[in-house]
Amino acid sequence: MNVGSQGFYLDSNEDSWLWVVKEIEEYPNTEYWISYKDFARPVIKAGIDTELHQHFRAGFSMEHIIFSTADRRLELYDPPIPRVTLIARSAPRQIAWSRQNLHFHEPERSQVVDAENAFVVLKSFLIDLWRETRQNENLPKALQSMDG
Domain boundaries, the chain: 31-144
The amino acid occupying position 1 is M
Q: What is the pLDDT of residue 54?
A: 95
Whether the model clears a pTM of 0.95, i.e. scores above it, the answer is no
On whether the CB atoms of residues 138 and 96 are closer than 8 A, the answer is no
Closest CA to 125 of 107, 138, 137: 107
Distance from C-alpha of 127 to C-alpha of 66, rounded to nearest angstrom: 15
Distance from C-alpha of 25 to C-alpha of 43, rounded to nearest angstrom: 14
How do the pLDDT tens digits run along the chain, 148 residues long? Answer: 443 334 445 678 999 999 999 999 999 999 999 999 999 999 999 999 999 999 999 998 888 999 999 988 888 888 989 999 999 987 899 999 999 988 899 999 999 999 999 999 999 999 999 999 999 999 999 898 754 4
Distance from C-alpha of 50 to C-alpha of 83, rounded to nearest angstrom: 19
